[in-house]
Structure 1
């Protein structure tokens, strides 16, 4: 039996509305069919995600997904259990589990064509989080191949993926072009637990565009929902992580400190929460000019190991351009390269030969890029040719070429592809977070 988008949304809303007060599932006289058992496991899984450990929630939802794999096309359920399992796994940093669940659901056709689109969207989300933006864009394109309009929740995820890939590619033009559609997608769907992830991603994009205020009513609604449910860490940690980066982009140290405090308070909930809390604390220290290379590298690698690969590389890169210690800078740049999938010297850090050669290339001025080099870098990342960049900056194409060659040498990049990857890390949010200038120190420690 097929379920319409409207019916599925209503059923999901009923499930969410009863979460705060619903008692644990009691035995019933219903026959233990696959569909009834899957529905019961889904309810238990979502309930555990609010009040229990993430392992219990993930286990129940993965079991529900597995039950429907033999004959999932006929199931009438509040949502695809595979989608909920994957979403829960993403929220606790278990991206490999999410990928496997989605792969099996797509192979079995769980939920028919309607849910196949949702499963592909979540696959695209995982690729985006890992920094595989090209693959994420390709996967997103498969969702709309049939030309049919996406339902409201899927439309919100699709908009957030477009904005998220644009942000990770430092493509300000793509962010501006997609912002109107993203706002429309937010308006079309009510705020619930299952949409906090795209809402958080859009908050960062809004901050990058200087238009976060238009999302603030929906963010308040999301925070209120979490407050009514007792601030469940599994759902609140990713929103605080997004809130931190939005605060960084809008230049609000006090608000960033609030998000860090909330993340630290949830650090004991799971490995993912602990990793994100440590990274958040390290990030604000870097912004205040306090760069501990060992601590930053540990935090960056922790992010990478939980699936936040792009964020891990960016943390290392941001620290590298803020330290006055050339050796620390080269170590952190090597870490950023390794976390982008370009290791050079092993997991533990660069070899002595690599460090020495990078230091020699750096010279006394390798504390970051000059203002002109940042301008050139941003335009190179936007895809402009040397001639177009020269016309924009009123310099010759040859001068642009010299700037690019100097940046490549300064950052010790072996080729243009490596230079572009590293530039995305070191210039991603300079315009909004006053790169190279430390934030005010906290009044209390």
Structure 2
């Protein structure tokens, strides 16, 4: 079925005359009509078309499908333009793809390009065609006294946000100015707070006139900015209910307008940052069912559902949501969503202890991060990339992005709701990098935030437990409490990993068994320390449930060596591919960390690898057929 059949005002033939079910006679008639028109002089054709329009309007009928047919033949008439634009305006909310076609045909019929430019841009953006939407909006914003200017700014801002450059969204509203902001003030506030400029958001909100009738849409936008502002204040726990109500009202409104971020996405982000991924999933499910934000918003909502599933250690649901996101839009993913997808792939590979997939996902993420800038609504993926960069010894790749993130949070007064998960990521990165000096400020920040944030309290306890385990001085009961606390705030994988790692380092068998049981209880798939956790040989022998160190295939000591590496280097290489640190390598094969570092340096020279990432790929190839090619 074509979009034409859904055109408002259409009064054409019934289903039996639909082109897709046309008979041979119908096609013969169409061929004869085409031949007749081809032989008719153009002037006579135009006169007949005008006469047809006159007669249709005199009879009090809408031009309907006739207007489309006439426009496609190049017939120009203001009445045809008016009909097409009227129908396009009606279709814009619910069928932006049809609206885009109708606006284009109105131009063919002689319509003014600027008159409906903002709406044409909205239609293009709603279908995911960011390039077309941006070009139309650019031309509109350059026109003095442009019609529908505020709507054009809303579209331009939404396009910049989807491109991953929210600061440009805020700049667009700054260009418009508080004196012309009117009903777009809540949207401007979202963009400005998202880029760390809360003062400008307050200025725009203060300058906006009181909202008119309390429509569902107006209430949704008002609740959105109020909830987002609460996330920055001393009582962020009040923000989530407000943002959820904003999402509910937007769902009920059933309208799709250009937004820098949907209320559903903001509510979900707030829930994820609060340690409530189940709530995030519920909000996102409702937003998707209601079509919140239209087709353009669906990929992001699905990807956030995937993030919620990943955080709850449900990889299968995360992959299903990712697949839905990839199918949700006719166009390729917007850069903002592509970046979120790349971080998801990294997170899933890290939690799955798949070093080969992690390296490949990291390479894709490195590319994706170059297309976006840091904003408040992208801190979760940046935290995931910070941890992975530390594990792969690639922290320099994300350093300047993270500097921007900390600077942004500083401009907002370091709000705990947004800061705490990033501090936790920094703690994990510092542990992986064996960097006590880097860990200290983030651990202290979590302790300070504990006074006002339950999540911060849980994470501070978890961080303290990790430090005690790595130092070899811990109480099993304290570790279990910390691990179960992490699971309770939607981080079961992190909790199981902590308990499993502690089990591998327990001095007493009863403590090891207790911690392994805790890990299994939190994360049933983890019958032993997750792959990559250091495990002493005697511990592995003493537990019937303990998993072996991850085996990447052949290339053992008895295998003929074609890699150019010594037997010891091959052994070290396998441990490097498991993500172990120099200290963990030393513990596993009874050498000092410094000796392990020397082995790695020699391997890098022999294999011609210029950096760690390249070394990982070349090691995989050098160590035999059990290593899938990059």
Q: Does 1:16 align with 2:16?
A: no
In structure 2, which of residues 235, 238, 258 is the aligned counterpart of residue 56 of structure 1?
238
Alignment partner for residue 392 of structure 1, among 547, 555, 571? 555
For residue 539 of structure 2, what is the aligned residue in structure 1?
367
Residues 161/318 of structure 1: CA separation in 2 closer, same or farther (3 Å cut):
same
SS of 1:190's partner is coil
Q: Post-superposition shift, 1:117?
A: 1.1
Q: Is 2:288–2:301's contact at 8 Å kept on the other side of the alignment?
A: yes
Q: Which has the higher contact order (CA 8 A, sep 6+)?
A: 1
| 2:138 corresponding residue in structure 1 | none
Determine whether 1:142 maps to 2:321. no
Question: Which of residues 217, 223, 228 is equivalent to 1:41?
Answer: 223
Shift of 1:49: 0.8
- CA drift of 1:254 comes to 1.8
CA distance in 2 between counterparts of 1:293 and 1:435 reads 24
Q: Is the 8 A contact 1:129 1:307 kept in 2?
A: yes
Determine the structure 2 residue equivalent to 1:434: 584
Between the aligned partners of 2:249 and 2:215, the Cα distance in structure 1 is: 10
Query: Partners in 2 of 1:329 and 1:28 — Cα distance?
Result: 63
How far apart are 1:20 and its partner, in Å? 4.0
- Residue equivalent to 2:386: 203
2:252 to 62, 66, 70: 70
Contact 1:20 1:229 in 2 (8 A): no
Confirm or deny: 8 A CA contact 1:168 1:428 kept in the other structure.
no
Is 1:377 the counterpart of 2:549? The answer is yes
Higher mean alpha-carbon deviation, 254-263 vs 190-199, is at 254-263
Higher mean C-alpha displacement, 40-49 vs 178-187: 178-187
Aligned to 1:227: 410
User: Per-residue deviation at 1:429?
Assistant: 5.2
Q: Which moved more, 1:201-210 or 1:68-77?
A: 68-77
In 1, Cα distance between equivalents of 2:428 and 2:229: 29
Unaligned runs of 5+ in 1: 345-363, 397-426, 438-445
1:296-331 C-alpha deviation (Å, 9 max, x unpaired)? 111100110111010010010111111211111110
Q: Tell me how far 1:72 sits from its aligned partner.
A: 3.5
- 2:284 aligns to what? 102
* Structure-2 residue corresponding to 1:7: 157
Deviations 1:175-217 (A, max 9, x none): 2112222122222112111011100101111111111101000
Query: Following the alignment from structure 1 to structure 2, what is the Cα–Cα distance between the partners of residues 224 and 204?
Result: 19
Q: Select which of 309, 315, 319 maps to 1:127.
A: 309
Q: Is the 8 A contact 2:355 2:579 kept in 1?
A: no
Match of 1:405 in 2: none
Question: Which moves more between the two structures, 41-50 or 51-60?
Answer: 51-60
Per the alignment, do residues 237 and 435 of structure 1 end up closer, same or farther by CA in structure 2, a change over 3 Å counting? farther
Alpha-carbon distance, 1:7 to partner: 3.2
Q: How far has the Cα of 1:23 moved from its partner?
A: 3.5
In 2, Cα distance between the equivalents of 1:211 and 1:322? 27
Q: What SS class does the counterpart of residue 370 from structure 2 fall into?
A: helix
Aligned mates of 1:197, 1:219 — CA distance in 2 = 12
Give how far 1:108 is off: 0.9
Select the structure of larger CA radius of gyration: 2
Q: CA deviation at 1:367?
A: 3.0
Corresponding residue of 1:243: 426
Matched, 1:190 2:358: no
How far apart are 1:29 and its partner, in Å?
A: 4.4
Equivalent residue pairs, number: 376
Q: Partners in 2 of 1:234 and 1:193 — Cα distance?
A: 11
Match of residue 87 from structure 1: 269
Distance 2:224 2:407 in 1: 24
Give, in whole Å, the separation in 2 of the partners of 1:238 and 1:341: 25
Which residue is equivalent to 2:436? 253
1:302 equivalenced with 2:485 (yes/no): yes
Query: Which residue does the alignment assign to 1:214?
Result: 397
CA distance in 1, matches of 2:428, 2:388: 10
What is the SS of the residue equivalent to 1:231? coil
Contact 2:271 2:279 (8 Å CA) reproduced: yes
**TM-score (normalizing by structure 2):** 0.56
Q: In structure 1, how many angstroms separate the alpha carbons of the residues matched to 2:193 and 2:231?
A: 13
Q: 1:164-183 counterparts in 2 under 5 A? A: 164-183=347-366
Evaluate the alpha carbon distance shift between residue 29 and residue 249 of structure 1 in structure 2; reply closer, same or farther with a 3 A threshold: closer
Distance 1:428 1:262 in 2: 31
Unaligned runs of 5+ in 2: 1-92, 97-121, 131-155, 162-168, 170-187, 528-535, 560-576, 588-630
Other structure's SS at 1:217 match: helix
Q: Give the deviation of 1:129 after TM superposition.
A: 1.1
Aligned-pair RMSD on alpha carbons? 2.7
Partners in 2 of 1:428 and 1:177 — Cα distance? 14
**Residues 1:318 and 2:490 aligned together:** no
Sort the Cα spacing of 1:250 and 1:343 in 2 relative to 1 into closer, same or farther, 3 A: closer
For 1:248 and 1:369, the matched residues in 2 are separated by 27
SS in 2 for 1:70: helix
Are 1:114 and 2:296 matched, yes or no? Answer: yes
Cα pair distance change 1:126/1:369, threshold 3 Å: farther
Q: How far apart, CA to CA, are the structure 2 residues paired with 1:232 and 1:309?
A: 25
Contact 1:130–1:308 (8 Å) recurs in 2: yes
